A and B are shown apart, each in its own frame.
Chain A
Amino acid sequence: MKKFRKSLTASMLKSGMSRRAFIARTSALGVGAVAANSVFGRMAMAQEPVKGGTLRMGLGGGSSTTSLDPALIASQVPFHVVRAYGEQLLEVNADGSLNPRLAESYEASDDAKTWTFKIRQGVKFHNGETMTAEDVRQTLLRHSDEDSKSGALGIMRGISDIRVDGENLIVEVDVPTADLPYLLSDFHLAIQPGGGREDPTAGIGTGAYKIVEAEPGVRYTFEKFADYWDDSRGHFDTIEMTIINDATARNAALQSGQVDIVNQVAPRVAGLLDRAPNITVDHVAGRGHYVFIMQCDQPPFDNKELRNALKYAINREEMVEKILRGYGSVGNDFPINESYPLFDDSIEQRHYDPEKAAELYKASGHDGSPIILRVAETAFPGAVDAAQLFQQSAQAAGIPLQIQREPDDGYWSDVWNNTPFCASYWDGRPVQDQMYTTAYLSSADWNDTHFYNEEFDELLLEAKGELDQAKRKQEYSQMAKILRDEGGLICPMFNEFVQAVSTDVQGWEENGVFELMNGLAPVKCWKA
């Protein structure tokens, strides 16, 4: 019975309700799980979006240094801002499928090297101009320019030509790229008038909301854009995003009713917050993962046995339980989990095995000197505690791990990518190809594990252009195994996005691509 209920709960999770809310409601109604399921089916259908009102969001991850230029997005708040005022060619749905937005439809040539995107007609920019295929072209060119500071530069590099053909935009790539539409869904690539070349920080897009006030690090206000093309979105009259970086203040603002939605709820207070009336804590599995990075070409990590000894010496279950308080799942030393399409769940899960770790450690011939792990809290929340757990579990296997605390300041410039062993995190990417190309391809800009493996690179290139999904899945599975056994990544856990919402916010969806429904909460939700 318990198992049965668990699987039902899992299916409810997918259909958009947190486990806790589901259990609370079914028991409150005093009905069995099956009956409850159908009750909720009806309720979901009965919900009609209500127009009007103001959505107030309390967001962490903002600072007064951010600009409105979509190319420079590197934290949560500018991401949410651009989601409200701008749109990309496509969006990634909760199930990993694509939702065409400014591109009405798309198709690939047989060799996956030429892609044709039909650009939606009659879409207006906030400045009153009509969006054209040329605007799209200029936007993509701006981000792919080698002089560009765009965060999307890396994924644009494979594009060799972008041209306009009437209503169509044709994109050509150097090597077959089956996932190109996913790459173009990147949040940096919000379409701007003239590509945003003249004034990238103008904050003009085609989104459901127009920026009214923009005070970086303080707040952003938006009003509904009257000429927005899609009636099914943008139910609120106005949106207010207030930057609240202090976690306690953020939760207090939600509890006292000053805001309706908060992001980044710390796992250790999520349970407490959920007990408050009128608040639902929502958590959704995502692609983000907390990791320890070994550089494969630096001693002592240039030794495969030592790398694998450390991988067996970490207690993943304990970390998920103690660091994430259960709001996450165990990782398997490659950066992919079940949130990705084409994930292979048959790959054997690695578990804590002190004996095997000791054996491998001995085989590595390491001289017994302390192995230094550099860590700072900025690497990921709980990183220092996680490192200490790692130290203890490694000690049980006879591996002398030594933790070196580093200051948060300058961690990403001085420690990460500059020292052979440190803590880090990844947000994940919409598809496997992008994740691997970003960080594990030999020539990748962010190959922070210094992983150079020819077989892996070849497989990645093959899979990139493979349109046969079954074959592609097999190739990805093979790559995962190589990375898991040869790579320098220790990936003990995938974290969930934990966020809290006032109960009068309706239309909530479970989308784990990024926090707050992949940033679409303000354009898709409404207030009862």
Chain B
Amino acid sequence: MNASLLKLVAQRLALGLMLIFFVSILIFAGTQMLPGDVAQAILGQSATPEALANLRAELGLNAPVYQRYLSWLVGLLHGDLGTSLTNGQNIATAIEGRLSNTLFLAGCAAIISVPLAIILGLVSVLYRNRWPDKLISTITLASISVPEFMLSYILIFYIGVQLGWAPSVAMINSNMSFFAKLHAIALPVTVLVMVVLAHMMRMTRAALLNVMQSAYIETAELNGLSRFKVIWRHAFPNAIAPIVNVVMLNMAYLVVGVVVVEVVFVYPGMGQYLVDHVAKRDVPVVQACGIIFAAVYISLNMLADIFSILANPRLRHPR
């Protein structure tokens, strides 16, 4: 049985790697289709024909596409992401700091939102169709319905500017202590928690309710077990697979989808970095970010699959 499990996991891993490979082709092709070219974008309105020609030659924009793709791929396999065209920075070093910032923000949001969402989901099933259930649904649905930037501005205005409880701009740097950093990111974390909470909470609730209709739950109830015990001991373990799935989706969102929040709170993360370089046609950076985002997304989904397989023995035996 262990062997078959390993085989399944290995299959998923191989599939993931293949996906990343195909994504790399897509990303490369996509960046080639952007209008304008990087030399023009770097020099902007101040581009003279000479300066343009010089810059193009220097950036190696004259080589054919497939050649550039192959050399990029080879570099990638060696862990070399290349250098930024616009400012000559090493992309790997530049991304290192950014990625850890984004992961820090996403991690803080996840540590709060995941347990909170599951607890709220459990509570709303426990009090199904009574006021706690309705209250939880109303609040989480309201917060997910407001666009992120709006939510951010509301928090900036009331909590940052009016009350002064937390900084309105989440500037963090390496010299800050851990707690200073936590204080600095209080507002963006709050926004992110509010944004992802509803999805995970609703999924938890729905998955649990689904399981609650099973015959064995009825049996447990007829045996006189308390409602909490039924939900926690008997229903929840069987609802883990869909919950893990939605949790992973939201984790992926926290890493790759926080562009708006990062921009509004001036948070030095991946999103802001990507946006800046897309605007300048800094192709190697866009490609590097694309690959990293794709890898995060694919591996989180893979993790979700593997967790589901572990949690549900039936999935190990394909019909």
Listed in ascending order, the chain A residues whose CB lies under 8 Å from chain B are: 58, 63-67, 72, 74-75, 146-151, 153-154, 201, 213, 215-219, 242-246, 248-249, 252-253, 255-259, 409-410, 412-414, 416, 424, 445-446
Contact = CB atoms under 8 A, between A and B. Distances in A.
A178 to B, nearest CB: 24
Nearest to A218: B268
B86 A242 contact: no
A64 B273 contact: yes
Contacts of A65: 42, 84, 86-87, 276-277, 279-280, 282, 285
Given A153-B51, A244-B169, A445-B49, A252 B161 contact: yes
Nearest to A378: B279
B64 interface: no
27 contacts: A64-B87, A65-B42, A65-B279, A67-B86, A67-B88, A74-B43, A148-B51, A148-B54, A151-B46, A153-B50, A217-B272, A217-B273, A219-B171, A242-B171, A246-B264, A248-B156, A249-B266, A252-B160, A252-B169, A255-B168, A258-B169, A258-B171, A259-B169, A410-B41, A412-B40, A413-B41, A445-B49
A413 B266 CA distance: 28
A74 B36 contact: no
Contact of A244 (B36, B97, B266): B266
Given A256-B167, A258-B171, A413-B41, A246 B263 contact: yes
A253 B169 contact: yes
Interface in B249-289: 263-266, 268, 272-273, 276-277, 279-280, 282, 285
Q: Which 7 A-B pairs have the closest CB atoms?
A: A65-B86, A67-B87, A413-B36, A410-B36, A410-B35, A413-B40, A63-B276
Contact of A215 (B161, B266, B268): B268
B173 A248 contact: no
B157 interface: yes
Contacts of A416: 45
Contacts of B171: 219, 242, 258
B276 A64 contact: yes
Nearest to B58: A149
Given A414-B36, A445-B49, A246 B42 contact: no
Contacts of B50: 146, 153
A74 B168 contact: no
Interface residues of B, number: 50
A100 B48 CA distance: 29
Contacts of B279: 63, 65, 409
Given A256-B164, A412-B40, A153 B48 contact: yes
Contacts of A446: 45-46, 48
B169 A242 contact: yes
A149 B54 contact: yes
A416 B36 CA distance: 12
A245 B36 contact: no
Interface of B: 34-37, 40-51, 54-55, 58, 84, 86-89, 94, 97, 153, 156-157, 160-161, 164, 167-169, 171, 173, 263-266, 268, 272-273, 276-277, 279-280, 282, 285
Contacts of A154: 48
Nearest to A424: B45
Contacts of A64: 87, 94, 272-273, 276-277
Contacts of A72: 42
Given A153-B51, A249-B264, A424-B45, 10 more contacts: A64-B273, A150-B51, A154-B48, A201-B88, A243-B266, A246-B264, A246-B266, A249-B265, A258-B168, A258-B169
Nearest to B170: A249
Contacts of A257: 164
A148 B52 CA distance: 10
B281 to A, nearest CB: 8
Question: Looking at B43, B46, B54, B94, which has the most chain A CB atoms within 10 Å of its CB?
Answer: B46
B280 A63 contact: yes
A253 B168 contact: yes
A252 B156 contact: yes
B276 A217 contact: yes
Contacts of B167: 256, 258
A253 B157 CA distance: 10
Contact of B44 (A216, A219, A252, A412): A412
B211 to A, nearest CB: 44
A231 to B, nearest CB: 30
Given A65-B276, A153-B48, A217 B268 contact: yes
